[in-house]
Amino acid sequence: MKVMISSVRKGLEPERDALPGLIMALGHEPVRFEDFSAQPVPSRQACLEAVAASDVYLLLLGPNYGHVFPETNQSATHDEFAAAQAKGIPRLTFRKTGVDFEPAQAGFEKLVAEYGPGLFYATFTDATDLQAKVVQALRQIEARPPALIFEPLQTHLAIEWRRDWNRNVGLSACLEIHVLPVPPATLTARLMDQARVGMLASLRSSNAVPPDIALQPEREPSGASIICLPEVRRQFDDLDTGTLRGVRLAPSGQFSLWYTLPRGRTLPVADQDDLTERIAEGLRLAGRLNLIHAHKLAVAVGIDPATMITIGRVAELATRNSTTIAGAGRLDHVHIEPDEAASRSALDTGAAEVARPLAQRLIDALR
């Protein structure tokens, strides 16, 4: 396994230096910024790419928060933690005791500690203590069984599709993802107001949307939505790989996300591999926002509108000039309802496994 060591170096020098040899002795490959050779990409981007290529993310929390990047208003370590969440890899967090944390680092620690799925959290006093606990944590990852559990739904779930709360879904074909707690929850007006504020802050801090995307909260009689507004309107022939366009929380506890489908010069395309990746991305984002606290959940997906899309490959968009509708376009919309519940790891390490059959069912329905 590739193990990414993430932290500010200042204040944690002995601990960072003690880990690479230990990780190699356990048969794994350590990854840290001190070992990066000269690269043709900025250091922040190189670190994020290293997280994406890793199998385990190991976070050390010391007294210092680190340099804040203006594009995200967060430190490199904070950005790396968000990237590890987005990928859904196991995250091991170790907090140093006996030191005073900067205010920004104290806030980051609180955010990390409050996030449950996929997270192992422990404290340490020095490099020797840390080594022993890292060995224990990595052994647990090596030995753990799959955490994703499915079971048939015992009752029908009432799903709020996007067209149920927004009669004008627009002309842009969107993939919508709905995560429902099992059994359904009931959120009071106070909890809905708290969630609305929390969603806005979490969308930024989790790097779910780029800094140039405006976020517009919308108060509804029956829900709380945040719409993502691109800063620049795309041209007709621009390549668009699909973007997050909004999130919503309903009083029933249902959390929804919707993304535009990829498109180039022609019609939007439904690509099974891309749908799988995007559904998994949406599930992990739902987990990062931490709005669903049920132990079991169900997932519904849809494409709406489905009247002007084609089935194909995203990789071919840049060269495709035809607007032929191949196997799709006959349906006003496609809705895939759940028939089973899954454990909470569906919002983290199990997201891809949940996403694959849902993407297949979408493609089958379009055909």
| Model confidence at 355: pLDDT above 90 | yes
Do 177 and 275 have their domain in common?
A: yes
User: Phi then psi for 225, rounded to 5 degrees?
Assistant: -120, 150
Give residue-wise pLDDT tens across range 284-323. 999 888 888 888 999 999 999 988 888 888 887 766 554 4
Is 202 found in the same domain as 59? no
Judged against a pLDDT cut of 80, whether residue 206 lies above it is answered with no
| Residues 289 and 211 both lie in one domain | yes
Same domain for 351 and 248?
Answer: yes
End-of-domain residue from the set 87, 109, 143: 143
Last residue of a domain, which of 143, 160, 180? 143
Element (H, E) at 3: strand 2-6
Residues 189 and 322 in one domain: yes
Q: Which domain holds residue 114?
A: 2-143
Q: Please, are residues 89 and 4 in contact by the beta-carbon 8 Å criterion?
A: no
Is the Cβ–Cβ distance between 276 and 359 less than 8 Å? Answer: yes
Mean pLDDT, all residues of the chain:
86
The domain that contains 33 carries what CATH number?
3.40.50.450
| Residue range 221-246, pLDDT digits in tens | 778 889 888 755 555 556 778 889 99
Residues linked to residue 60 through DSSP beta bridges, in sequence order: 94
Q: Are residues 158 and 78 in the same domain?
A: no
181 with 89, same domain?
no
Alpha helix (H) residue ranges in 69-218 = 76-87, 103-114, 127-143, 162-165, 189-205
Our count of domains for the chain comes to 2
Most confident of 159-173, 180-194, 327-341: 180-194
> Rounded to two decimals, what is the model's pTM?
0.72
Lowest mean pLDDT among 2-16, 55-69, 260-274: 260-274
CB 148 within 8 A of CB 349: yes
Residue where a domain stops, chosen among 95, 126, 143:
143
Instruction: Mark whether 50 and 134 lie in a shared domain.
Output: yes
Same domain, yes or no: 106 and 201: no
Based on the domain organization, do 71 and 135 belong to the same domain? yes
Same domain as 205, residue 72: no
Residues 74-120 have pLDDT tens digits of 898 999 998 898 888 889 999 999 999 999 999 999 888 876 666 78
Q: Are residues 264 and 160 in the same domain?
A: yes
